[in-house]
Structure 1
Amino acid sequence: MGRKVNIRHISEGDWDGIVALEASIYIESELSEEREALESRAHASPDTCFVLDCEQQIVGYSLALPYPTFHYPDLTRVEETTFHSRNLHLHDLAVAESFRGRGLAKRLIRHLTATARSKTYERMSLVSVGGSDTFWSANGFEAHHEVSLPKSYGTNAVYMSKTVSLLRPDGASRW
């Protein structure tokens, strides 16, 4: 029997695990951020940031925060402003290599999308890095090649977004 993986909100005790996982994924591509920057993104919107927890080990996480459409966080700075936007920007979603191939990233995306819907966000956006735009397209995100991105996001970075279908109280789609 496999080990159970739970999705929950980030707690202060999770940051060592999040930072270690983030570095293991992004350090070679020079996309790794400082701990203070990562924490600032979660503190800007704690209700939309989650970890994948397996037996008290962080095996994945997502950091999402309200951001104006077609804008994105600066990787070199901490978040100092909390935006009031109907767009939820998925700044990062990561799953530990040993836990990939189990559908956990898609599970986290579904959870985040449901959260965005419940909080009445109209859109979700992200910056695809490292050639992951195919994965994001398969999950409903459309590329916006007209949005220019700084070199800090890497050479193949693409701004992407999707509409969040809102549900009426009777469960029917509003859009």
Structure 2
Amino acid sequence: MKISPITSSHWHQIKHIQYLAYGDDYSESMAVLKTKIAISPQTCFVCINDDHHVVGYLISHPCDKKSLPQLNQSTLHIDSTHLHLHDLAIAPASQGQGLPSLLINHLLVVLKTMNYQSVSLISVQNSASFWKKFNFIIDDSLRVPTSYGSNAIGMSRLLST
């Protein structure tokens, strides 16, 4: 497996993986996802298998910790020391191979060279226990947009300096 920056050749596969992971519940338009990647390409990656197929992706971008992004809403550039891990999805056929760890650890290595102090995410589909394995904690100070539904949970973690 190889981690690579997201390029235009990956969009079709990202869209397919997103739909398999979320169905209509949390899928976003490619135009919206492209705005997130455009403002922080260095914190967005795909995982590519030996056959050169995208088998997972991670999209993250700077945001104001007091105002987490709405689902399916374009994101504008903001100077912030807070990063929002917007999406992590793995193709069903590639699950169970440790790809989330590979992508998250790669992100954390990249962040060591940047000025970020914390990372947030919105846990959906009852995934809070998964995120706790990566030292994210439930953060009641985060306001989760209603577009994520009533079961979504705001989580965050501090980055070591």
What TM-score comes out, normalization by structure 2 length? 0.94
Deviation of 1:146 after TM superposition, in Å, equals 4.2
Q: Which residue of 2 aligns with 1:10?
A: 6
Deviation of 1:100 after TM superposition, in Å, equals 1.0
Matches within 5 A, 1:24-173: 24-28=20-24, 30-54=25-49, 55-79=51-75, 81-166=76-161
Q: Does the CA-based 8 Å contact 1:70-1:159 persist in structure 2?
A: no
SS at match of 2:112: helix
Q: Which structure is higher in RCO with an 8 Å CA cutoff and minimum separation 6? A: 2
Q: Which residue of 2 aligns with 1:170?
A: none
Q: Does the CA-based 8 Å contact 2:61-2:85 persist in structure 1?
A: yes
- Please, what is the CA RMSD of the aligned residues? 1.3
- Matched AA of 1:96: A
How many residues of Structure 1 are paired with residues of Structure 2 in the alignment? 160
Which runs of 5 or more structure 2 residues have no equivalent in the other structure? none
Q: What per-residue deviation string (whole Å, max 9, x for no partner) do you get for residues 39-70 of structure 1?
A: 11111111110000112211000000011124
From 11, 18, 38, give the equivalent of 1:22.
18
SS at match of 2:26: coil
Runs (4+) of structure 1 exceeding 4 A deviation are: none
Deviation of 1:149 after TM superposition, in Å, equals 2.0
- Matched AA of 1:76: N
What TM-score comes out, normalization by structure 1 length? 0.87
Partner Cα separation in structure 1 for residue 123 and residue 15 of structure 2: 20
Which runs of 5 or more structure 1 residues have no equivalent in the other structure? 167-175
Q: Which residue of 2 aligns with 1:173?
A: none
Larger Rg: 1
- Matched AA of 1:21: I
Partner Cα separation in structure 2 for residue 93 and residue 70 of structure 1: 21
Partner Cα separation in structure 2 for residue 118 and residue 61 of structure 1: 21
Partner Cα separation in structure 1 for residue 81 and residue 92 of structure 2: 32
Partner Cα separation in structure 1 for residue 94 and residue 135 of structure 2: 23
Paired-residue identity, %: 34
Partner Cα separation in structure 1 for residue 82 and residue 114 of structure 2: 11
Partner Cα separation in structure 1 for residue 99 and residue 60 of structure 2: 17
- Matched AA of 1:43: A
Q: What per-residue deviation string (whole Å, max 9, x for no partner) do you get for residues 3-58 of structure 1?
A: xx110100111111101110111115x11111111111111111110000112211
Partner Cα separation in structure 1 for residue 67 and residue 111 of structure 2: 18
